Structure 1
């Protein structure tokens, strides 16, 4: 049996539990992902791509960013082609999606590109430096704000607020339906090791969230409740004066996310492209994610004054946005059959279910102050094939 080696973050979490007692899973997940200098996203090292722990759609192929760029140009048209368009990305990571979008706009939308300011919502200085370096060719069109700026409503946006695989990394409360009703899972120490305790809910908003989306758990079923997600959408809606919120993430509507057959919820960990179901292993060294409840995002947005314009699987969004045409153009430029095959394999990963990203990832478009927007993703893509 391999002896367990306690890392610095695990030691810190145990000290907190010893000092204050049990903590919610949301507190534990926040420490694992965002503890300054020790959390998964706040410590050195590449997290995304072949050298990291997982892929995002933007790391699979540039066509993903090209489709989004052309949708953004369409959004500009829907807004009446204003002289300034704020493109705000929260959770941009190394900036690959931003680069693909800006490169595409410079190439295909010369009338729109000069109007765009790309604003990163970023609190990690090392990521800010990486983003600036990656997009050096677009210097002068870049800006940065902190998550606190967005959450406090200190940013004024006419344009689009974009996130790609952001909300799945928000800390969640873990709940379990028991014979005594809905209970919450707390993190404790048992014989010196991290463990769990099930007890009364720490916040009545947890049960209220499940009730709003019509989720009824069966006995023994576990689920996650993301209270930070509706708060984020509410804040984004407050910052958005006119335009769109574009959210891309893996998840489902509530009726699918909380269905009775999903007994263990959706909590997963990623370490070097390997799935791990135990979140108490190697705190700070593995990513912890959960699927997004898109019903809650739509409800929170509508309550905050943004309308649901379009919602559906990623493959539908990409098809309507013209990804087949992107592939045809890229293949025409390809040097040799090997490059063409790479394009096709990437498209397969982005589009197909069962191992691909096509139906697990969802896209939500919300709008504010825009009458009857006509977006590319709304097109009948059957006629585009």
Structure 2
């Protein structure tokens, strides 16, 4: 195993455990690993995504992913009555590649919308701002930056669309286990230079309430994750969005499948240099820690907040309905050789194919606020488009 110096962050977490009576909820441990200022996985310099990072997203497969989101954003603007100004917010903007692909598409497809919009980037790692400026060099007059606290606090008010790609899976989660004595939470304790786990009564009644709201009963011995931060984040988004849409791309399931008996050990995984790891207590701050998204809770909490489900489904259905075949034909027409055309087909298949591709692993949820019966591209029956 490659040796990585994680002693600074490890020491901070050990001190925190000591200060809090000898243990902290796993959610607090995960928060430190991912977001401790300057030391966490997402708050320290370094490329996380792509060949030089630890994992790929749909953005890295082909720019057509961003173009299709751009197509849908153009339709959103139209069904809203073409409001001006129109604000896009990308939460978890990373290096800005998706933002650039979206803006390239909007500029080409709808110059009137492009002239009226501002894209606000929200990113936890401030050092990425310079990389974003370089990637978005052609669009800087349309781009602004905001702190995540403004979104969580509800002070970033706007009309338009907030979109995110693989953001919610990175929120710190509580880990729970069903025991013969009832629901117990996983706490993290210090064990020499390392860490150990301890099961005890939940740190908050919200954990048991979470399962009651979605009518889920865990099996004896079943361990899983509860993402309370996803609800808090959505609450902030609902306060900020005056009218428009929230578009969420992530891997996950509806709650009956996410918390079904077939998942005895939950979905918590770590990623390090394109390999899957199962031990979150190694390489502290140097590996990604994620869990699958509970889309049922996002839909139910959204309804309570005035964010009504407009569409939910697999990524391949969204992309096909948004115009993937049109984009494919245009790319093939522009290709100089048959070899290049074959390469394009193979690359785009990864976005839509199941079983090794991203087509059904990733889901897309579109929620609307103050827009009645929106007729979006993703709502078309793509099977009848050809």
Separation of aligned partners in 2, 1:15 and 1:371: 52
Separation of aligned partners in 2, 1:159 and 1:4: 43
Aligned to 1:333: 334
- Contact 1:120–1:144 (CA<8 Å) still a contact in 2? yes
Q: Secondary structure at the match of 1:139?
A: helix
Aligned to 1:237: 238
Q: Secondary structure at the match of 1:263?
A: coil
Aligned to 2:15: 15
Cα distance change of structure 1 residues 261 and 123 upon mapping to structure 2, 3 Å threshold: closer
Unaligned runs of 5+ in 1: none
- Contact 1:7–1:282 (CA<8 Å) still a contact in 2? no
Cα distance change of structure 1 residues 34 and 130 upon mapping to structure 2, 3 Å threshold: same
Aligned to 1:383: 384
Separation of aligned partners in 1, 2:240 and 2:226: 24
Aligned to 1:140: 141
Aligned to 1:315: 316
Separation of aligned partners in 2, 1:137 and 1:290: 35
Aligned 1:75-114 pairs, distance under 5 A:
75-114=76-115
- Contact 2:251–2:361 (CA<8 Å) still a contact in 1? yes
Aligned to 1:224: 225
Q: Which moved more, 1:93-102 or 1:124-133?
A: 124-133
Q: CA deviation at 1:191?
A: 4.1
- Contact 1:10–1:282 (CA<8 Å) still a contact in 2? no
Aligned 1:301-380 pairs, distance under 5 A:
301-380=302-381
Aligned to 1:258: 259
Q: CA deviation at 1:14?
A: 1.7
**Is 1:161–2:162 an aligned residue pair?**
yes
- Contact 2:6–2:284 (CA<8 Å) still a contact in 1? no
Separation of aligned partners in 1, 2:162 and 2:43: 23
| Normalised TM-score (structure 1) | 0.97
Q: CA deviation at 1:286?
A: 0.4
Separation of aligned partners in 2, 1:281 and 1:337: 47
Aligned to 1:37: 38
Aligned 1:51-130 pairs, distance under 5 A:
51-130=52-131
Cα offsets for 1:92-128 (capped at 9, x unmatched): 1001110001111111212221111101112422111
Separation of aligned partners in 2, 1:165 and 1:238: 22
Q: Secondary structure at the match of 2:296?
A: helix
Cα distance change of structure 1 residues 15 and 57 upon mapping to structure 2, 3 Å threshold: same
Q: Secondary structure at the match of 1:111?
A: helix
Instruction: State the aligned residue count.
Output: 385
Q: Secondary structure at the match of 1:8?
A: helix
- Contact 1:175–1:222 (CA<8 Å) still a contact in 2? yes
Cα offsets for 1:162-203 (capped at 9, x unmatched): 111100000000000000100000111234421111111001
Separation of aligned partners in 2, 1:4 and 1:194: 16
Separation of aligned partners in 1, 2:48 and 2:334: 31
Q: Which moved more, 1:121-130 or 1:283-292?
A: 121-130
- Contact 1:90–1:121 (CA<8 Å) still a contact in 2? yes
Q: CA RMSD in A?
A: 1.5
Q: CA deviation at 1:9?
A: 1.2
Q: Secondary structure at the match of 2:121?
A: strand
Q: Secondary structure at the match of 2:178?
A: strand
Q: Secondary structure at the match of 2:251?
A: strand
Q: CA deviation at 1:335?
A: 2.4
Cα offsets for 1:222-267 (capped at 9, x unmatched): 0100001011111111111111011110000001100011000000
Unaligned runs of 5+ in 2: none
